[in-house]
Amino acid sequence: MFGYQDGKVENVLTLTVFSSQDPHQDVRADESSCSSAARQIHGIGNSADICRADSRASWGEQVVGRVRDKVFVIYLRTRPKTQTEIPRARLTDNAIQVAEHVAGDLF
């Protein structure tokens, strides 16, 4: 987990990578914490999906993907929940960029 705080705004990146006997099942299980429907991201690993992972106090984006038998979960959030600090589109773009790097490192 990596964090950065600037005044009242806290940004946190959590990255988890693990080996799996059934990566397809584990990817679906990790998407259960999404607060919106997941959408596929093309060109990242063998498969990757992104979804909103908002809570009452923060904006969040989650990417769940796999490279061969490795599953990766990226959770990027910002608090407090104000669009003036980090717009949703930028948070989504940042999560996708992290996923590109992680998938590239796992290949």
Q: What's the gap between Cα 8 and its chain centre?
A: 22
pLDDT confidence of residue 49: 92
Residue with tokens 């429907």: 37
Please answer whether residues 17 and 30 qualify as being in contact, where contact means their C-beta atoms are separated by less than 8 angstroms.
no
Q: pTM for this structure?
A: 0.86
CA–CA separation, 10 vs 86, rounded Å?
Answer: 11
Instruction: Name which residue leads in pLDDT, 94 or 21.
Output: 94
CA atoms within 13 A on the CB side of 12: 14
pLDDT confidence of residue 42: 93
pLDDT confidence of residue 29: 61
Residue 107 has pLDDT above 90, yes or no: no
Instruction: Name which residue leads in pLDDT, 105 or 85.
Output: 105
Give the pLDDT confidence of 17-68 residue by residue, as tens digits: 998 888 777 666 666 778 888 899 999 999 999 999 888 888 899 999 999 9
